[in-house]
Structure formats: C-alpha cells, structure tokens
Amino acid sequence: MAMTEVRIEAQDFSRFEDTLGVEQMKRFRETALLAREAFAGRTIWNVNSTARGGGVAEMLQVILAYARGAGIDARWMVMDADPEFFRITKRLHNGFHGAAGDGGDLGERERGHYEQVTGQASGELLAHTRPGDVVILHDPQTAGMVAQLEGTGRHLVWRSHICYDDGDELSRRSGDFVRPYLDAADAFVFSRASYVPPWLEDRIVEIIAPSIDPFSAKNQELSDEVVRSILVGTGLLGDGDAALTPPVFRRRDGSPGRVDRFADILRTGPPTPIDAPLIVQVSRWDDLKDMQGVMTAFAEQVDPVHGAHLLLAGPNVTSVTDDPEGADVLAECQTLFRSLSQEARSRIAVACLPMSDLEENAAIVNAIQRHASIVVQKSLAEGFGLTVAEAMWKARPMVASNVGGIGDQIEHGTSGILLRDPRDAQEFGDAINSLLEDPDTAACLGVAARERVRQRFLSDRHLEQYATLIGRLI
Ligand code: UDP
C-alpha cells in the first residue's frame, strides 16, 4: 500500500479567543466563514511522506484539525515507500540544504525508482480524490506526483518547506531532479520569499511561514510542578519532591494524557539536578541540526563555573520512517560523548524520547523546553525551524543559528540571539555564557520572543493565508 490516510479530529478554533484578542479573532472568523462557503463540496488533500517526526507532520496535525473545525473537509494522506526511495529523497533534501549527505547518485536509475513510487502513490490518490479537489503536495518526496496528476482536474499545489535553490552545485542538482515534475502545479507555496526559484516568476506563488498551536500537547501551558514531574518520571532530571504531582497533560481530543514512558538516555553519573541551569537542543538526529557541534561547543566553550548542564534530545531513531540517517547520526553523537572528558560527560545527556504515543512525546518536549534555562538551535541549515517558535512561545531565551527561517523568527538582541556563523563554537559559547551571567536580559529576550510568536506564528495567520490561496485557485 503506497498511501495511508491520517485521520484528523476537528478542533474548534474558539479556544483562541483569549490568546488572539478581538481584532485578530474577528478576522479569523470572517475568513473561515468565507472559506467554508467557497470550498463547499470539495476536499483539500495534503500529501507528505511521514505522519510522525519533523516539522511538516507536526504542522499538518494542527492546521488540518482547525480547518476541519471550521467546516472544511481538509484531509491528510501519507505516502509509504521502500528504504531506497527514502534514501533518494533524503539525498534530494540534503542537496537542497547544500549538504552532500550519503554522497550517492541522483541519476537515471534513481529517477526511475522515484517515478515508479510516486506514480503508484498518484494512482492511489486518484482513487481517493475527485476532480475539483485541491491537492497540496509537500516537499521533494511528493514532487513527482505533481506531473503524474496533471490533467486529472485536481487543483495542484506544491509546497516546499525548504530552500529550493541557494545557488550551490548540490542544491542545483536536487533542483534539476525535481523541476521537470513541477510545471503542472497550479500554485506554489514556500516558507520564505528567498526560497522561491527565479523560474517561478510568472506563476502563482504564496509565501506562507509555518506556525505552532499553543494548545497542543507540545505547547500547552504546564505548571512548574507538572514539568518537573514529567522530567523526573522520564529519567531526564534527578529526584526531588517533584514526582508527587501526576505528570499529566491535555490531549488534542480534550481527554487527560499522562507521561508514563522513559527516555532512553546516555550519560555518566546521576541525572541532571533539578536546580542546575539546563541548556537544551531538541531535534531530529540529522547532521544539519549539528547535535555534535552543540556537544563540542558546550564542552569546550561553556564555562563550568555556571554549573550548566546540556540535554540533547531527539526522537527514538526507529520511528521517523522518511529519515534513514537518524540512527547513524545518533551513533556519532554517542561516540563523541564517550570521547569527552569525565568532567564534560558529567554535565551532558543524550536522550531519545519515546515515540509510540506522539502526544506523550510532545508533552515531554514541552516539559524539556519549559524547564530549559536557554534553548539552542545550532542548525547548519534549516527550512523554518519549528523548534525555535516552540521555545519562543514558552518565553525561553533562544540562541540559534541565523540560517533559513530562524532569522525570520528571532530579531537579534530583541527576541533571542542569532549566531552569525553556525560553526563557530566560540560565538556559541560566548552567547550562552553571557545569558547565564545575566538572567534579567535572558528573561527579557524570552518575553519578547513569546509576543513575536503570538503576532506572527500562530495558526490563525497560517490558515487565513491558505484560505486565500485556495480561494484564488478555485
Ligand atoms: N520533535 C519532536 N520530538 C522529538 C524531536 C523533535 O516532537 O523528539 C519535533 C519538534 O518539537 C518540532 C519538529 O519535531 O516540532 C521539528 O521541526 P523543525 O521545523 O524544527 O525541523 P525539521 O525536523 O522539520 O527539520
């Protein structure tokens, strides 16, 4: 089976009332009403290649639930494929980010396999959809489907969450691979204006930045007691009286959830003490997230006098099906950890978070981000960087590379700190040390960060932009 539908429960948007304020809320309601009338009788399909792990899956869950709540028949299909297909698409992904990845080919053999898998997925999608429906295809994994669905009466949108062509040879190679399929799209969506390739000049192109849901298990308010209880219960923090409060959160359907599983943690000695300043990076195990670089820079540049600890947290590596490199990157992190001095190791933990219940996983990430003194995202390349918006919403001071969409989120010195050179360990260490020494400034950055997300990166803006685009197409 090449395609599986992810069922999404409708979510009522009225819960945003207190968060958005009267004007923003009124605008949203008007757009939703117009969209419901205009889209009546049509389904808006989204297609990507994983239901779990990574920013696209994270966002689709949220956006589709609110769209359904507004009375729009928005749905999600995930294409399944063999490991060879995902090796090819990971190569495309790495290439778009200017990275060599596994160094493999993108020649005729790869193209043949790619077309065979996307062709099968297109056939299955056709069986589910009707002429007049809107099909939004996400990222290079689905680009082939654009060509294969041409002439079938579906309105086709290709949404790229990463830079299409930043001018270097590797990204051009990825671009050359997918470009022949894309001409048939009726519209294109990119996360940033600078990601749009010049050959789309005369086409319908919309710039839609991603967003986060303030009520999801990932971002909902959690009391300090619950945060500690979750972190002690998963084994990430040392004891205290914290375990007395139940580690609970609210699920998307309104029912109570509870964190019961343990994280799989590499460290030496006892868990991080509750009162130690904690530096955190949460990411997939991907070279471009530079977990190894964070570890080295922390060990070498962050002054032990502050007593800070580092937590590198990512998903359990068997769980993200479209990311075949995760296990290798995690193994490299573990090897690097073992090569550090005893002193450095005593302040670092490398954790894989349980993924069998995605909302439980999200609640753990939520607790980690909330407990952090500083959240870092030292990526070497980034599409948007949802982890940045997530931490900013929790009013955390951020230290992050000025790559991709991170620069759209953080205004340097106001709502976080942007690193000019993501590979410069000293710049990273200096930023962390200065925030550890000056908690007042750190707190101010956090407050401004939350406000920035409230205004620009919540679901209302995202849905309104989609509604406008789809209205234009149909
Ligand atoms: N994430 C998660 N659990 C993990 C690691 C990451 O839920 O163990 C989430 C993270 O919170 C964020 C998403 O995965 O919502 C990653 O999105 P981002 O845009 O930062 O990067 P991507 O993985 O798409 O490159």
Looking at residue 162, its pLDDT comes to 87
Nearest CA residue ID for atom 6, ligand 1: 283
Residue in the structure block whose two tokens are 């022949």: 180
Selected residue with higher pLDDT from 20 and 348 = 348
Residue 318 has pLDDT above 60, yes or no: yes
- Ligand 1 nearest atom to the CA of residue 377, by list position: 20
Tokens linked to 42? 């049509």
What's the CA-to-centroid distance between 89 and ligand 1, angstroms?
18
- Ligand 1 nearest atom to the CA of residue 289, by list position: 25
| Among the ranges given (40-49, 242-251, 300-309, 363-372), the one the predictor scored with the smallest mean pLDDT | 242-251
Residue 205 pairs with which residues in a beta bridge? 188
pLDDT tens-digit series, residues 183-234: 999 999 999 998 999 999 899 999 999 999 999 999 999 999 999 999 999 9
Measured distance CA(411)–CA(448) in Å, rounded:
9
Measured distance CA(406)–CA(411) in Å, rounded:
9
Helix/strand/coil for 93: helix
Is residue 323 very low, low, confident or very high in pLDDT (cuts 50, 70, 90)?
A: confident
Which residue stretches of 104-163 are H helix?
108-128, 139-148
Which residue stretches of 212-254 are H helix?
224-233
Measured distance CA(177)–CA(165) in Å, rounded:
12
Helix/strand/coil for 76: strand
Q: What is the 8-class DSSP label of residue 398?
A: E
pLDDT tens-digit series, residues 430-474: 999 999 999 999 999 999 999 999 989 999 999 999 999 999 999
What's the pTM?
0.90
Tokens linked to 105? 């080919």
Is residue 243 very low, low, confident or very high in pLDDT (cuts 50, 70, 90)?
A: low
CA angle 297, 303, 304 (to 5 degrees): 110
What's the CA-to-centroid distance between 172 and ligand 1, angstroms?
26
Tokens linked to 149? 């669905």
Nearest CA residue ID for atom 14, ligand 1: 54
Taken as a whole, the chain contains a residue count of 474
Edge-to-edge order in the sheet of strand 187-190: 3-6, 73-79, 43-48, 134-138, 155-160, 187-190, 205-207
What's the CA-to-centroid distance between 261 and ligand 1, angstroms?
19
Residue in the structure block whose two tokens are 């953080």: 410
